[in-house]
Homo-oligomer: A and B are copies of this chain.
Amino acid sequence: MRGNLFAVAVNLVVLTVRSHRLHVLLIERGEQPFLGAWALPGGFVQPDEDLVDTGSRLLREETGAETGDAVVGHLEQLASYADPTRDPRGRVLSVGYLALVPDLPEPTPGSDATASAWRPVDEVGPLAFDHDHLLADGVERARSKIEYTTLAASFCPPEFTVTELRRVYEAVWRSELDPRNFQRKVTSTDGFLVPTPTLVTGGRGRPPRLFRRGPATALHPPMLRESHRVSRNGDAPDGD
Protein backbone atom coordinates (compact mmCIF):
# COMPACT_ATOMS: atom_id res chain seq x y z
CA MET A 1 0.00 0.00 0.00
CA ARG A 2 1.56 3.23 -1.11
CA GLY A 3 2.10 5.99 1.45
CA ASN A 4 0.49 9.41 0.98
CA LEU A 5 -1.79 9.41 3.98
CA PHE A 6 -4.73 11.71 4.65
CA ALA A 7 -6.43 13.02 7.71
CA VAL A 8 -10.17 12.42 7.30
CA ALA A 9 -12.71 14.84 8.65
CA VAL A 10 -16.50 14.93 8.54
CA ASN A 11 -18.22 18.26 8.06
CA LEU A 12 -21.92 18.80 8.58
CA VAL A 13 -24.36 20.86 6.57
CA VAL A 14 -27.11 21.07 9.19
CA LEU A 15 -30.23 22.67 7.77
CA THR A 16 -33.41 23.72 9.48
CA VAL A 17 -36.33 26.04 8.81
CA ARG A 18 -36.79 28.96 11.19
CA SER A 19 -39.35 31.71 10.68
CA HIS A 20 -40.02 30.65 7.08
CA ARG A 21 -36.37 30.68 6.01
CA LEU A 22 -33.82 27.96 5.46
CA HIS A 23 -30.99 28.20 7.99
CA VAL A 24 -27.64 26.46 8.34
CA LEU A 25 -25.71 25.80 11.53
CA LEU A 26 -22.35 27.57 11.57
CA ILE A 27 -19.55 27.79 14.10
CA GLU A 28 -16.98 30.48 14.65
CA ARG A 29 -13.60 28.81 14.63
CA GLY A 30 -11.59 28.98 17.87
CA GLU A 31 -8.42 27.46 16.40
CA GLN A 32 -6.06 27.86 13.50
CA PRO A 33 -6.37 27.74 10.59
CA PHE A 34 -9.12 30.24 9.82
CA LEU A 35 -9.21 31.36 13.47
CA GLY A 36 -12.27 33.56 13.93
CA ALA A 37 -13.83 32.64 10.60
CA TRP A 38 -17.22 31.02 10.26
CA ALA A 39 -17.28 27.42 9.15
CA LEU A 40 -19.39 24.32 9.04
CA PRO A 41 -19.16 22.19 12.17
CA GLY A 42 -16.94 19.16 11.79
CA GLY A 43 -14.32 16.93 13.32
CA PHE A 44 -11.96 14.11 12.57
CA VAL A 45 -12.99 10.50 12.17
CA GLN A 46 -11.86 8.55 15.22
CA PRO A 47 -10.01 5.22 14.99
CA ASP A 48 -12.98 2.91 15.32
CA GLU A 49 -15.67 5.08 13.79
CA ASP A 50 -17.39 4.57 10.48
CA LEU A 51 -18.18 7.82 8.65
CA VAL A 52 -21.83 7.90 9.61
CA ASP A 53 -20.90 7.37 13.26
CA THR A 54 -18.70 10.43 13.13
CA GLY A 55 -21.54 12.33 11.49
CA SER A 56 -24.10 11.45 14.15
CA ARG A 57 -21.63 12.05 16.96
CA LEU A 58 -20.87 15.52 15.62
CA LEU A 59 -24.53 16.27 15.09
CA ARG A 60 -25.26 15.27 18.68
CA GLU A 61 -22.35 17.35 19.96
CA GLU A 62 -23.35 20.44 18.03
CA THR A 63 -27.09 20.42 18.40
CA GLY A 64 -27.44 18.63 21.71
CA ALA A 65 -30.45 16.80 20.34
CA GLU A 66 -30.56 13.09 19.60
CA THR A 67 -31.37 13.66 15.97
CA GLY A 68 -29.78 10.73 14.25
CA ASP A 69 -31.42 8.95 11.41
CA ALA A 70 -33.67 6.95 13.73
CA VAL A 71 -35.34 9.58 15.88
CA VAL A 72 -36.32 12.77 14.11
CA GLY A 73 -34.43 14.54 11.40
CA HIS A 74 -32.29 12.94 8.73
CA LEU A 75 -28.59 12.39 8.12
CA GLU A 76 -27.06 11.35 4.81
CA GLN A 77 -23.69 11.48 3.14
CA LEU A 78 -23.23 14.28 0.63
CA ALA A 79 -19.83 13.97 -1.03
CA SER A 80 -16.13 14.05 -0.29
CA TYR A 81 -13.73 16.93 -0.92
CA ALA A 82 -9.99 16.46 -1.18
CA ASP A 83 -8.48 19.28 -3.20
CA PRO A 84 -4.78 19.17 -2.28
CA THR A 85 -4.87 22.84 -1.30
CA ARG A 86 -8.09 22.87 0.67
CA ASP A 87 -6.41 22.75 4.10
CA PRO A 88 -3.14 24.59 4.82
CA ARG A 89 -2.22 22.01 7.47
CA GLY A 90 -1.76 19.29 4.87
CA ARG A 91 -3.75 16.63 3.12
CA VAL A 92 -7.20 16.52 4.68
CA LEU A 93 -10.14 14.80 3.04
CA SER A 94 -13.51 16.02 4.24
CA VAL A 95 -16.63 13.91 3.94
CA GLY A 96 -19.68 16.15 3.84
CA TYR A 97 -22.87 15.03 5.58
CA LEU A 98 -26.23 16.65 5.17
CA ALA A 99 -28.52 16.83 8.20
CA LEU A 100 -32.14 18.00 8.10
CA VAL A 101 -33.50 18.78 11.55
CA PRO A 102 -36.56 20.45 13.07
CA ASP A 103 -36.25 23.89 14.54
CA LEU A 104 -34.10 23.29 17.62
CA PRO A 105 -33.18 25.47 20.57
CA GLU A 106 -30.06 27.60 20.22
CA PRO A 107 -26.97 25.45 19.69
CA THR A 108 -24.13 25.17 22.17
CA PRO A 109 -20.69 25.73 20.66
CA GLY A 110 -18.49 22.63 20.47
CA SER A 111 -14.98 22.36 21.86
CA ASP A 112 -13.13 23.98 18.96
CA ALA A 113 -15.59 26.81 18.43
CA THR A 114 -16.10 30.10 20.19
CA ALA A 115 -19.66 30.50 19.01
CA SER A 116 -22.29 28.77 16.94
CA ALA A 117 -25.42 30.10 15.33
CA TRP A 118 -28.17 29.44 12.85
CA ARG A 119 -27.77 31.63 9.79
CA PRO A 120 -30.08 32.04 6.77
CA VAL A 121 -28.40 30.17 3.93
CA ASP A 122 -28.65 33.10 1.54
CA GLU A 123 -26.91 35.45 3.97
CA VAL A 124 -23.86 33.33 4.61
CA GLY A 125 -20.64 35.09 3.73
CA PRO A 126 -17.43 33.36 2.70
CA LEU A 127 -16.71 30.43 4.96
CA ALA A 128 -13.45 28.76 5.99
CA PHE A 129 -11.84 26.06 3.83
CA ASP A 130 -14.05 25.03 0.89
CA HIS A 131 -17.17 25.11 3.04
CA ASP A 132 -19.02 27.46 0.68
CA HIS A 133 -18.89 24.73 -1.90
CA LEU A 134 -20.02 22.11 0.62
CA LEU A 135 -22.91 24.31 1.74
CA ALA A 136 -24.02 24.94 -1.84
CA ASP A 137 -23.98 21.21 -2.54
CA GLY A 138 -25.96 20.50 0.62
CA VAL A 139 -28.62 23.10 -0.11
CA GLU A 140 -29.01 21.90 -3.68
CA ARG A 141 -29.29 18.31 -2.47
CA ALA A 142 -32.02 19.29 -0.01
CA ARG A 143 -33.87 21.30 -2.66
CA SER A 144 -33.93 18.46 -5.12
CA LYS A 145 -34.48 15.68 -2.64
CA ILE A 146 -37.72 17.01 -1.18
CA GLU A 147 -39.08 16.84 -4.73
CA TYR A 148 -39.16 13.08 -4.88
CA THR A 149 -38.92 11.97 -1.24
CA THR A 150 -40.85 12.67 1.95
CA LEU A 151 -37.74 14.17 3.57
CA ALA A 152 -39.34 17.58 3.97
CA ALA A 153 -41.05 16.12 7.02
CA SER A 154 -37.59 15.76 8.62
CA PHE A 155 -37.67 19.51 9.11
CA CYS A 156 -40.86 19.18 11.17
CA PRO A 157 -41.44 18.07 14.74
CA PRO A 158 -43.03 14.62 15.21
CA GLU A 159 -46.51 16.08 14.82
CA PHE A 160 -47.16 18.92 12.46
CA THR A 161 -49.83 20.55 10.32
CA VAL A 162 -50.04 20.59 6.54
CA THR A 163 -49.35 24.31 6.62
CA GLU A 164 -46.15 23.75 8.60
CA LEU A 165 -45.04 21.24 5.97
CA ARG A 166 -45.89 23.67 3.21
CA ARG A 167 -43.81 26.39 4.91
CA VAL A 168 -40.89 23.97 4.77
CA TYR A 169 -41.22 23.54 1.03
CA GLU A 170 -41.65 27.26 0.54
CA ALA A 171 -38.59 28.07 2.66
CA VAL A 172 -36.35 25.48 1.03
CA TRP A 173 -37.44 26.39 -2.50
CA ARG A 174 -37.95 30.13 -1.85
CA SER A 175 -41.23 30.05 -3.71
CA GLU A 176 -44.91 30.11 -2.82
CA LEU A 177 -47.14 27.09 -3.23
CA ASP A 178 -50.91 27.07 -3.55
CA PRO A 179 -52.15 25.98 -0.10
CA ARG A 180 -55.16 24.15 -1.51
CA ASN A 181 -53.34 22.15 -4.16
CA PHE A 182 -50.56 21.41 -1.70
CA GLN A 183 -53.05 20.09 0.83
CA ARG A 184 -54.62 17.77 -1.72
CA LYS A 185 -51.27 16.59 -3.00
CA VAL A 186 -49.69 15.63 0.31
CA THR A 187 -52.77 14.19 1.95
CA SER A 188 -53.59 12.06 -1.08
CA THR A 189 -50.06 10.66 -1.44
CA ASP A 190 -50.34 7.27 0.20
CA GLY A 191 -48.14 6.80 3.26
CA PHE A 192 -46.80 10.35 3.39
CA LEU A 193 -48.95 11.75 6.21
CA VAL A 194 -50.89 9.91 8.90
CA PRO A 195 -53.66 11.98 10.50
CA THR A 196 -53.90 12.22 14.26
CA PRO A 197 -57.16 12.99 16.08
CA THR A 198 -55.73 16.26 17.34
CA LEU A 199 -56.75 19.68 16.11
CA VAL A 200 -54.60 22.66 17.02
CA THR A 201 -56.75 25.28 18.71
CA GLY A 202 -55.79 28.80 19.66
CA GLY A 203 -54.94 29.97 16.17
CA ARG A 204 -56.80 32.50 14.13
CA GLY A 205 -58.89 30.42 11.75
CA ARG A 206 -60.26 26.92 11.48
CA PRO A 207 -58.10 24.62 13.66
CA PRO A 208 -55.77 22.52 11.52
CA ARG A 209 -55.27 18.82 12.02
CA LEU A 210 -51.96 17.39 13.26
CA PHE A 211 -50.26 14.70 11.19
CA ARG A 212 -47.35 12.33 11.74
CA ARG A 213 -44.94 11.01 9.12
CA GLY A 214 -46.17 7.93 7.35
CA PRO A 215 -44.08 4.98 6.16
CA ALA A 216 -43.53 6.29 2.63
CA THR A 217 -40.08 7.60 1.78
CA ALA A 218 -40.49 8.19 -1.94
CA LEU A 219 -42.99 10.52 -3.61
CA HIS A 220 -44.51 9.21 -6.84
CA PRO A 221 -45.28 11.24 -8.74
CA PRO A 222 -42.81 13.78 -7.44
CA MET A 223 -43.57 17.33 -6.32
CA LEU A 224 -41.73 19.45 -8.83
CA ARG A 225 -40.35 22.90 -8.21
CA GLU A 226 -41.76 25.66 -10.37
CA SER A 227 -38.32 26.40 -11.83
CA HIS A 228 -38.27 22.82 -13.05
CA ARG A 229 -41.72 22.95 -14.50
CA VAL A 230 -41.36 26.19 -16.42
CA SER A 231 -38.65 25.31 -18.93
CA ARG A 232 -38.10 21.99 -20.57
CA ASN A 233 -34.30 21.87 -20.53
CA GLY A 234 -32.41 24.07 -18.09
CA ASP A 235 -29.25 23.72 -16.10
CA ALA A 236 -27.52 20.69 -14.73
CA PRO A 237 -28.16 19.35 -11.26
CA ASP A 238 -24.63 18.00 -11.23
CA GLY A 239 -24.04 14.59 -9.83
CA ASP A 240 -21.37 15.01 -7.19
Contacts and interface: CB of A to CB of B under 8 A. Distances in A.
Interface residues of A, number: 62
A82 B232 contact: no
B221 A235 contact: no
A134 interface: no
A217 interface: yes
Interface of A: 1-2, 4-8, 44-52, 74, 76-77, 79-84, 89-93, 95, 98, 141, 145, 148-149, 151, 189-192, 214-218, 220-222, 224, 228-229, 231-240
Determine chain A's interface SS by DSSP, over half rule: loop
Q: What is the oligomeric copy number?
A: 2
A173 to B, nearest CB: 15
Contact of A232 (B47, B190, B217, B238): B190
Contacts of A145: 239
Q: Enumerate the 3 nearest inter-chain pairs by beta-carbon distance, A residue then B residue, closest first.
A: A76-B239, A77-B240, A216-B233
Given A4-B47, A6-B8, A84-B48, A93 B92 contact: no
Contacts of A98: 239
A2 B59 CA distance: 19
